[in-house]
């Protein structure tokens, strides 16, 4: 029974996301956090792979980057 309620909750969450457009600042928090930490610690030049991974995630959500 819990799997049924979890499965039914997912579409409701997706519907809520469709009504309110996702802001770029809130998209891809996992890749953003790692990217930002790397840039602060090592500098932008050393984090190109993480920067690209974040861009790919943003593009996958429909942002034009």
Angstrom distance (rounded) from CA 35 to CA 60? 17
Question: For residues 58 and 65, is the Cβ–Cβ distance under 8 A?
Answer: yes
**Helix 29-42 / helix 48-60 crossing angle, nearest 10 deg:** 160
Q: Does the annotation flag 25 for ligand binding?
A: yes
Q: Which residues are annotated as a binding site for Cu cation?
A: 25-26
């Amino acid at each position: 029974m819990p799997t049924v309620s979890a499965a039914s909750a997912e579409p409701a969450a997706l519907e809520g996301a469709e009504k309110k457009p996702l802001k770029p600042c809130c998209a891809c928090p996992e890749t953003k956090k790692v990217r930002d930490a790397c840039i602060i610690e090592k500098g932008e030049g050393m984090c190109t792979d993480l920067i690209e991974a974040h861009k790919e995630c943003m593009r996958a959500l429909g942002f034009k980057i």
